[in-house]
Structure 1
Amino acid sequence: MHDLIVNMLPLREEERDRFLQSAPAVRQVFTGDPAERDAPSWSQHLPEDVLEEATVVIGNPPVDLIRRCPNLRWMQTWSAGFEEYAAPGVLPESAMISNATGAYGQAVGEHMFAMMWALMKRLPAYAVQQTHEQWLDAGRVLSPEGGTALVIGTGDIGRHFARLARGVGMRTLGVRRKAARSLPEIDEMHGFDDLPELLPRADVVAMVVPSTPQTRHLLDREALAALSPHAIIVNAGRGDAIDTGALAEALHGGRIWGAGLDVTDPEPLPKGHALWSEPRCLITPHIAGSNHLASVSDAIIAIALENERRYVSGEKLHNARR
């Protein structure tokens, strides 16, 4: 069976030409809307008439549609997350999956860094005061200089955050599965088994882990209790890495300084949840990794283009997840 590549990226004409040149002997169908190229999110358009024939899909179509691609050999997501497509029964067993890891480090790392600063300087409290036309001192603040950042998950995003943290005088502790592998942005590298001993040392806990049985409630009630009262948590990985109820209790009781959440569990956070009204919590709606930063879109497209070249050449894919 011949390949059919269905490309859902919102490519400009010159970008589309580069994909055609990278696989000149392969039929390619482009379904993305170029008008969305600079939009914060992209449409997920996978036409019904290509489902049976598609062997490659570049994009993030709805799971119910991708299930109906029986001849799929490779899927390239435009997200770092890929778990829903790797679930049993979604793709043919032999199909490969690769993702866009490497595209989001700057955007998400900077978002986490901004959340850290905002909480340290009580900026959310002043923003609320402004809406009420109040001129009040919100109290003492924190500085990152001389502090310790515990980065749980030291991939592209975690490394970028660590680099920024070191730039303002913080010491960085990293946690990853393969603790023997050192990184220039991390002063000390540890395995997950060391987490109980590391939490009391942390002034900032930056979490960028995927959703797995091993990472669920990594910060549970016991772990939160180990943190110092001036500790700040920033999570831009997956919401279920934190016990949301225990976090709400810790914040309400003043047992930690604050939390910045770009992800929650459940997501979206339901109306009436305690975290919405918690003054120590800063929440953004899972937008840190969206395409708000132009370099993110450019990197997603570059990763997909290089992997298309590798696919047609029979080379190993970048970011292969299975």
Structure 2
Amino acid sequence: MSGHDGGARHRSVRGAADAAPLDATSGPDAAAARPVPGPIAVLPDASAELVAAVESAGGVLAPLGDETRGIVWTANDGAAELAAVLRERRGIGWVQLPWAGVDAFAGLLGEARGDGRTWTSGKGAYAQPVAEHALALALALLRELPRRAAATTWQPDERGRSLYGAEVVVLGAGGVAVELLRLLEPFRVRATVVRRRPGAVPGAERTVTVDRLAEAVSGAELLFVAAALTEDTRGIVDAGVLAALAPGAIVVNVGRGAVIETEALVAALEDGRLGGAGLDVTDPEPLPAGHPLWAIEHCLVTPHVADTEEMTAPLYAERVAENVRAFLGDGRFVGRIDLEHGY
């Protein structure tokens, strides 16, 4: 899931926190014109895994040139650099971006509307490790593990809650949300999914549209944020949404930091309305030293590591191979970007 490593190269397979869209979809595909197949360039840096992925799927790997028809982009950001490549070579018909969330490329994607190219991302590719991390954060907070891990004396109190039978809301309906619902099944939670458009999601008792978010979270004990960052989702989890949760509720964010209003989250944690927050993503990010979230005992922050390179390298290589096959005419593209909605 985001490219927050300051432009470092060849970190694409690290993934990000696999921010999923509000809808579980690979994007428009059937009606779209297919790109013309041809040589593929892996830019700006080509790892052995990605080279093998392209070649194993039957793709022709070649340096960037006039004959290039597909690009696998490997940088965290570099939107301006990628835009320059695309301006110079109009024959490129397919672009693969590395992240699940593509907010770092928002400007470029906005300009790409109507350019006829096929754009794909890593959305859904890293769902398993990110969902696993979300569950780990939730369980750690429910069982008071941050406080107990910091203890230096025996503290036999009765604090701690169970996940079994909990009222849960998941914001987002992409790969992370779907995988998280699978992981939650043994706990027999009552799950509501909030998504952009109507439609059932496997594992959820009900789904509601995002305009009913405050209603959906009313009385919920646990809110998982697994949504992509767009202009529509920025700050959508605000003071009103947080106040609607059950007293002592826990919020877990593995989507994008700016989906939650940070000031409102800090206030809700400090005054005790929230029972805890597990954050793998923050706003700002990286979270600076001295930020109030670091000092809140029941706030557990992990530094955008829900999916590490060891976990995601094979997953991203598999995504690239799938889309190389589609580029060559064998099957559908996976993780297509909806340029109208920005993810």
Structure 2 partner of 1:178: 197
CA distance in 2, matches of 1:287, 1:169: 27
Structure 1 partner of 2:253: 235
Structure 2 partner of 1:5: 40
CA distance in 2, matches of 1:266, 1:226: 24
Q: Deviations over 1:165-207 (max 9, x none)?
A: 221121111111122x212211111111222222123111001
The within-5 A match list for 1:209-248 is 209-248=227-266
Conserved 8 A contact 1:263-1:284 = yes
Matched, 1:78 2:98: yes
Matched, 1:164 2:183: yes
Matched, 1:124 2:146: yes
Structure 2 partner of 1:301: 317
Equivalent position amino acid for 1:140 in 2: R
CA distance in 2, matches of 1:16, 1:155: 28
The within-5 A match list for 1:142-153 is 142-153=161-172
Please, which of 87, 102, 107 is the counterpart of residue 124 of structure 2? 102
Deviation at 1:53, TM superposition (A): 6.7
Q: Deviations over 1:251-307 (max 9, x none)?
A: 0111110000011111111221100111110001111133342xx332221221121
Structure 2 partner of 1:111: 133
The percentage of counterpart residues that share the same residue type is: 30
**Are the structure 2 counterparts of residues 280 and 138 from structure 1 closer, same or farther at C-alpha, using a change threshold of 3 Å?**
farther
**Are the structure 2 counterparts of residues 84 and 74 from structure 1 closer, same or farther at C-alpha, using a change threshold of 3 Å?**
farther
CA distance in 2, matches of 1:74, 1:278: 46
Q: Calculate the TM-score normalised by the size of structure 2.
A: 0.78
Helix, strand or coil at the partner of 2:309: coil
Please, which of 243, 249, 252 is the counterpart of residue 267 of structure 2? 249
Deviates more, 1:90-99 or 1:221-230: 90-99
Deviation at 1:238, TM superposition (A): 0.8
Q: Deviations over 1:222-257 (max 9, x none)?
A: 111111222110001011111101111110111110
Helix, strand or coil at the partner of 1:287: coil
Helix, strand or coil at the partner of 2:240: helix
Conserved 8 A contact 2:229-2:256 = yes
- Greater relative contact order (Cα 8 A, min sep 6): structure 1 or 2? 2
Deviation at 1:128, TM superposition (A): 1.5
Structure 2 partner of 1:272: 290
Equivalent position amino acid for 1:101 in 2: K
Structure 1 partner of 2:206: 188
Conserved 8 A contact 2:194-2:216 = no
Q: Deviations over 1:47-87 (max 9, x none)?
A: xxx47775422133222321220314321123212233342
CA distance in 1, matches of 2:193, 2:37: 46
Structure 1 partner of 2:299: 281
Conserved 8 A contact 1:109-1:157 = yes
Deviation at 1:18, TM superposition (A): 5.7
RMSD: 2.5
Unaligned runs of 5+ in 1: 30-49
Conserved 8 A contact 2:37-2:70 = no
Q: Calculate the TM-score normalised by the size of structure 1.
A: 0.83
**Are the structure 2 counterparts of residues 127 and 11 from structure 1 closer, same or farther at C-alpha, using a change threshold of 3 Å?**
same
Structure 2 partner of 1:37: none
Q: Deviations over 1:130-178 (max 9, x none)?
A: xxx3322454111111211101102110111122222112111111112
Conserved 8 A contact 1:52-1:68 = no
Aligned residues: 293
Helix, strand or coil at the partner of 1:149: strand
User: Larger Cα Rg: Structure 1 or Structure 2?
Assistant: 1
Helix, strand or coil at the partner of 2:278: strand
Conserved 8 A contact 1:9-1:301 = no
CA distance in 1, matches of 2:333, 2:109: 22
Equivalent position amino acid for 2:322 in 1: E
Unaligned runs of 5+ in 2: 1-35
